[in-house]
Structure 1
Amino acid sequence: MGDRHQLRMTRRRRIKRRWRVALAMLVAVILVVGYAGMDLADLVPGPLTLAKTSHSSAPPAVMVGDPPTLAADKPGSAVDAGQVQQLVDAFASAPGLGNGYSLVVRQADGRVLAQKNADQARQPASTMKTLTAAAAASVLDMSSQLDTEVVLDSSTPSQATLTLRGHGDMLLGAGKDDPLHVNGRAGLGTLAEKTAQALRQQGIDRVALAYQDTLFGDDREPEGIAENNPDGIYFQVPVSMAVDEARQGRTEPVAYPDAGVYLPRVENPAEAAAVSFASSLMESGIQVDHAQGPERADHAQGRVLARIRSARLSEIMSLMLRNSDNSLAELFGRLTALALGMPNSPAGAVKAVTSTLNKLGVDTAGLNMADCSGLTPGSVLRVGTLADVQQLALADKGLTPLVKGLSVVGLTGTAASRKVDDQADGLIRVKTGTLDQVTSLTGNVIRRSGGVLVFAVVINDSEDVAAARQAVDTLVGSLDRI
């Protein structure tokens, strides 16, 4: 009896234990499933969600953090000018360099550490864009945006007329607004949806369409720029509005809209934008007369019915510098001229930039700007002018867009492939310049021991272009260790 009783008690304990384990497991499952459900509903923190998510399609090279602060509030160890001079002497003796070079290396406070042929004015290529950027950033409100508007004129009872009016946004998208990119931030598809909604509220379902492209007058192309602009792929004259800077035949508009791509341009960018808008408007249920051939208007009568807005000017400037975009550089020059009341022309843009630089204290001796981008033959400057701009940008918080827009050597923009030393990643910010007979570079370097250096190098008519570029990269890539 005792053994049987003990056996029965043992079985009962086992059964109870199994029920307790089963119950515990059930409770655990309920808790896990319940938490997961709340996570999916975004009621508690967790990796799960039912909400739609957005993923930036920017290339990895663009998706990097800002480098260390460029403020020169950490002077670091004293700079050995002798070491800098040794680097400059090694640069000067590099094979293939030729004799047409100038360079300067300074501390951020202006002290010259070394220079060669600094009094010679040379063709700067795209480093000229830093001058335009400095002037524009000091004159324009860099937090502002460029509007593209639809103006409704319903004064004629039998026909409502829409006028598409631009204010300089040459980076419109054909579809909906794209908040993740600069190119396409404002979308004509979104503008069409807003317009259609506003029209239906007024009982209008049929319109005529016109477009206004008078912002930059009739004088738009710098004289002589065609020499360096074969097939029109490197420069688009400023217009009041354009989709993707008037490029045609682009194959990756969705994947990399902010990437710089050289393609032929449409013949009439503003009209092409109006045609794209008309197509989207019809998709939204509004009948558009002459949708494939909207009329050009000198003025837009009526009231603004809907609008879209570009990225901030600071973001557009960063894109201009990072991609070395000639069209956007000229656009900034023209916007600066308009803001200052200068002539509405390429010459007026140049005058606006040079006069602003003089007011900022930049030494413009020897400066001649054939345009605002450096593409047109005939531009010359001294390297000291480039270095002055870099110093000014580091010292003046109002020119932050210029500093942030520079390419980071080895990481972003036109300098992404110009790596010399892995240890210098993120420490060297530059603006590149390249033409058939020009290799140039200007920017700033954060020293590993603290403090910032500025530099400018311009080479014309080198004996070996590849060797000259390597010499520049070697020099600049060594300054962070000084």
Structure 2
Amino acid sequence: MSLSDNADPKVASSTPHAAPAPQQGGARRRRALTWVLAALAIVVTVAAAGGLVWQISAVTSPRTGTLTAPEAYPPAEPAPVLAGSDADAPLPDLASVLPDLLADARLNGSLSASFADALTGEVLFEQEATTPLAPASSMKVVTAVAAFQHLGAEYRIPTKVVEGPTEDSVVLVAGGDPTLTVDGEGYYTAYGKGASLTELAELVLEARGGTAPTTVYLDTSVFTDSVSAAGVTAAELDTSTAPMAPIMVDGGRTDNTLKYSPHHADPALVAAQEFANLLGASTVEAGTAEAGAAELAVVHSAPMSALVDSFILTSDNLLSDAVALQTALVVEGEMTWAAMSTVHAATLEDLGVNTAGLVFHDGSGLSPDDRMTAEAFTQMLLGAAGSQASSVFESLPVAGYSGTLDDRFGDAEEGMGVVRGKTGTLTQPTGVISLTGTLTTADGRQLIFSLISNGHTTGTEAVEAAMDAVTAEVSQCGC
């Protein structure tokens, strides 16, 4: 047995069956080993000396390239990422710094701002905080809070198949899940991996003793509203989101590798056809499951915590709307935009939010007719912190590191790793930018904030950079 087989050479040579090696060969091996050890010693000594010589020469003539000159040691202390808060840290005097920061010429539109202490809830600064403005994708935080509050982090959206009206038919009952995949790999795999239609088909065939049905009836009766929220255009249904349906594969995308892929005009029908092909059925028809029909199989979405991570981090309009409608279904008993609005308003009221002037047309913020205030966002997050919805804080992107903030704060590096927030941008109409979340000051005080700008004329990147600068400066505040 060789040493590469993990045998211990001492044990092997001491076994009763090991033959003694000739003395002459043993001497030669010992002399060879002596030469090897000596050579290694020389190499180590030379290497050590070389290292010393390099260090000395680098002090007098620093080198460039992959090596770092000794005067740069020790390395700079790494920037904090998600630094913990300190309950004993002093409250910052934001009134002494924020007026000048918010007077930035890049923020030349209507600006609603609110900053509050996360521990006590004390409002530290407000500017037009109760002015209702279009929030863009910061609205997704409202959807996340409502979903966590009413459904919980472990809730999963079901998709089931029941017996059809005839022996050679089954009914695919849509439950509201847009994250289904064909074979387990799809657009949402990275965050909220969808249930597999292949698995669902296999379960159905097993329940039917291996006999494929001829017809698949598609039951979409759970969703009884228009395919788009008020204010969302037909062009946006093809690119920024999909026509809403209670069952989809990859969120209705025609290309599941692209966030802004074109979408199927009838994503529910496409999903049913995919399922019928996997099942071996030849026909897909619209239908409704009979009351009390026996269940043949069911699959479930990823847990709500993963779905929220997905739509918050990537700002997925379709998924956030689907989650908002799912919450409406569970709470109000109907999957409609109106029921969703009712749930969102009631959820915020229960969390102590002033809901005057708030408008909820969708759960994504894609509708330009939605309205939120900076005060409402901070009050909501303060209420969520002490409720079942506190999981929302774990989903917020980290400045300079994750989600839609991964490429932000390049000119405001002080905020990297210590500001967390949901971004919001509407390109139609232009001039809608928001940032809502939390930050920790240099002293260790955790704050909750919201900034909403409408009607600015300085451009998206300029306003985003200004908001980055404001929150980064507050994070460094020892004021």
Q: Secondary structure at the match of 2:214?
A: strand
Paired letter, 2:131: Q
Aligned length, in residue pairs: 402
2:392 equivalent among 398, 402, 423? 402
Q: How has the CA–CA distance of structure 1 residues 447 and 122 changed in structure 2, closer, same or farther, with 3 Å as cutoff?
A: same
- 1:284-311 residue CA offsets vs partner (Å, 9 max, x unmatched): xxxx222xxx001122563222222210
| Structure 2: distance between partners of 1:320 and 1:427 | 21
Seq. identity, %: 26
Q: Tell me the equivalent position of 2:139.
A: 128
Whether the 8 Å contact between 1:174 and 1:184 is mirrored in structure 2 is no
> Could you tell me which residue of structure 1 aligns to residue 57 of structure 2?
none
1:353-364 → structure 2 map (5 Å cutoff): 353-364=344-355
Cα drift, residue 360 of structure 1: 1.8
- Aligned residue in 2 for 1:217: 224
Give the drift of 1:18: 5.0
1:322, CA displacement in angstroms? Answer: 1.3
Tell me, yes or no, if structure 1 residue 145 matches structure 2 residue 156. yes
TM superposition shift of 1:449: 2.9
| 2:25 counterpart of 1:15 | yes
Amino acid at match of 1:451: R
Could you say which residue in structure 2 is the equivalent of 1:249?
255
Residue identity matched to 1:113: L
Equivalent residue number for residue 463 of structure 1: 457
The AA in structure 2 aligned to 1:377 is P
Does the Cα contact within 8 Å between 1:234 and 1:262 map onto a contact in 2? yes
Deviations along 1:109-163, one digit per CA (max 9) or x if unpaired, are: 222222222232222111122222212211113202112222234x74xx42122
* Cα separation, partners in 2 of 1:207 and 1:17, compared to 1, 3 Å: farther
> Aligned residue for 1:168?
176
User: Alpha-carbon deviation of 1:86?
Assistant: 4.3
Distance 1:217 1:280 in 2: 27
Q: In the alignment, is the contact (CA less than 8 A) between 1:390 and 1:444 conserved in 2?
A: no
Distance in 2, Cα, partners of 1:358 & 1:422? 37
In structure 2, give the amino acid aligned to 1:187: S
Q: 1:136 to 1:174 in 2, by over 3 A?
A: same
Q: 1:18 to 1:481 in 2, by over 3 A?
A: same
1:180 shift after superposition: 5.8
1:92 aligns with 2:75: no
**1:445 partner letter:** L
Q: Give the superposition deviation at 1:177.
A: 6.5
Which residue in 2 is equivalent to 1:387?
A: 378
Q: How does 1:307-386 map to 2 (within 5 A)?
A: 307-341=298-332, 344-386=335-377
Distance in 2 of aligned mates of 1:212 and 1:334: 17
TM-score normalised over the length of structure 2: 0.77
Pairwise CA distance, 1:324 = 1.6
Q: Equivalents in 1 of 2:400, 2:470: separation in Å?
A: 15
The answer to whether structure 1 residue 480 and structure 2 residue 442 are counterparts is no
Q: Secondary structure at the match of 1:409?
A: coil
Mapping of 1:45-64 within 5 angstroms?
A: none
Residue 123 of structure 2 corresponds to which residue in structure 1? Answer: 112
Pair 1:239–1:382, CA change in 2 (3 A)? same
- For each residue in 1:253-291, what CA deviation from the matched residue of structure 2 results, as whole angstroms up to 9, or x when unmatched? xxxxxxx71122112212111111122223xxxxx222x
Alignment of 1:16-55 (within 5 A): 16-17=26-27
CA 1:384–1:211 in 2, change beyond 3 Å: closer, same or farther?
same
Superposition deviation, residue 233 in structure 1: 1.6
* Maintained 8 Å contact 1:407/1:413: yes
Q: Which of 177, 202, 207 is matched with 1:198 structurally?
A: 207
Deviation at residue 368 of structure 1 after TM alignment: 2.1
Kindly state the Cα deviation for residue 220 of structure 1 after the two structures are TM-superposed. Answer: 4.4
Aligned with 1:274 (options 263, 272, 286):
272
Distance 1:12 1:304 in 2: 79
Q: CA deviation at 1:329?
A: 2.3
Distance 1:177 1:99, change over 3 A: closer
Letter in 2 for 1:467: A
Equivalence for 2:55: none
> C-alpha separation between the residues in 2 aligned to 1:412 and 1:75?
26
Query: What is the alpha-carbon distance in structure 1 between the residues aligned to residue 384 and residue 462 of structure 2?
Result: 30
Which one-letter code corresponds to 1:464 in the other structure? Answer: T
- How far off is 1:381 after superposition? 2.4
Partner SS state of residue 310, structure 2? helix
Change (3 A) 1:14 1:399: same
Q: Distance in 1 between matches of 2:334 and 2:180?
A: 26
Provide the residue aligned with 2:422 in structure 1: 431
Opposite residue 230 of structure 1, the aligned amino acid is: E
Name 2:75's counterpart in structure 1.
none
Contact 2:177-2:322 within 8 A present in 1 as well: no
Q: CA deviation at 1:12?
A: 6.6
Distance 2:132 2:225 in 1: 32
Cα offset, 1:95, TM superposition: 2.0
Amino acid aligned to 2:389: L
Q: How many Å separate the matches in 2 of 1:231 and 1:388?
A: 32
SS of alignment partner, residue 234 of structure 1 = coil
With normalisation by structure 1, the TM-score equals: 0.76
| Cα contact 1:177–1:190 (8 A) shared by 2 | no
C-alpha RMSD over aligned residues: 2.8
- Residue number in structure 2 paired with 1:289: 282
For 1:36, the equivalent position in structure 2 comes to none
CA distance in 2, matches of 1:128, 1:326: 10
Structure 2: distance between partners of 1:218 and 1:100: 34
Letter matched to residue 359 of structure 1:
D
Q: 1:176 offset after TM fit, Å?
A: 3.0
Question: Offset of 1:76 from its aligned partner?
Answer: 4.2
Q: Secondary structure at the match of 1:295?
A: strand
SS in 1 for 2:319: helix
SS in 2 for 1:349: helix
AA in 2 matched with 1:212: D
C-alpha change, 1:450 and 1:314, in structure 2 (3 Å) is same
Q: 1:205 to 1:14 in 2, by over 3 A?
A: same
Going from structure 1 to structure 2, the CA distance change for 1:341 and 1:80 (only over 3 Å counts) comes to: closer
CA distance in 1, matches of 2:350, 2:269: 39
CA apart distance, 1:218 = 3.6
Report deviation, 1:203: 5.3
Equivalences for residues 299-310 of structure 1 within 5 A: 299-300=289-290, 302-310=293-301
